[in-house]
Structure 1
Amino acid sequence: MEFEEYLRLKKIDQQTFSTVDPARYAEWKELFTTMHPDSFTAQKKFLVNEIRRRYHLKEEVSKPQ
């Protein structure tokens, strides 16, 4: 899974996140490539919720089957 897809599944607007907070975006993207998505979520759980509230994705997201 790519980081951009992960953000979409978490309903985070990747474009806004990367523009407004580029340092955190870059840090998370690099970290994401080194671990499983579930491990990343466990490590960043409360931060992911904060980022989702700040950069909420407006479109509907459907989970891949």
Structure 2
Amino acid sequence: MTFEEYLISKKIDLEKFAKSEPERFEEWRVLFEQMHPESFTMHKKFQINPTRRKYHL
């Protein structure tokens, strides 16, 4: 699973997120590439929902 596919599965708009918060987007992308998707979800559990609300797909 790619980071882009992961964001789609979490209903987060990739383009809006990358454009509005490029540093955080890049941090998440790099971290995602180093972890299993489920581990990433657990690691960012409390940040995913607010991000989804801001950049709803």
TM-score (norm 2): 0.99
Identity of aligned residues (%): 56
Alpha-carbon separation, structure 1, partners of 2:51 and 2:24: 10
**Counterpart residue number, 1:45:** 45
Alpha-carbon separation, structure 1, partners of 2:37 and 2:31: 10
Alpha-carbon separation, structure 2, partners of 1:50 and 1:40: 16
Aligned residues: 57
Alpha-carbon separation, structure 1, partners of 2:12 and 2:36: 18
Moved over 2 A (4+): none
Please state how far the C-alpha of 1:11 moved relative to its aligned partner: 0.1
Gaps of 5+ in 1: 58-65
Whichever of the two has the greater Rg, that structure is 1
**Higher helix proportion:** 2
Alpha-carbon separation, structure 2, partners of 1:49 and 1:24: 15
Gaps of 5+ in 2: none
TM-score (norm 1): 0.87
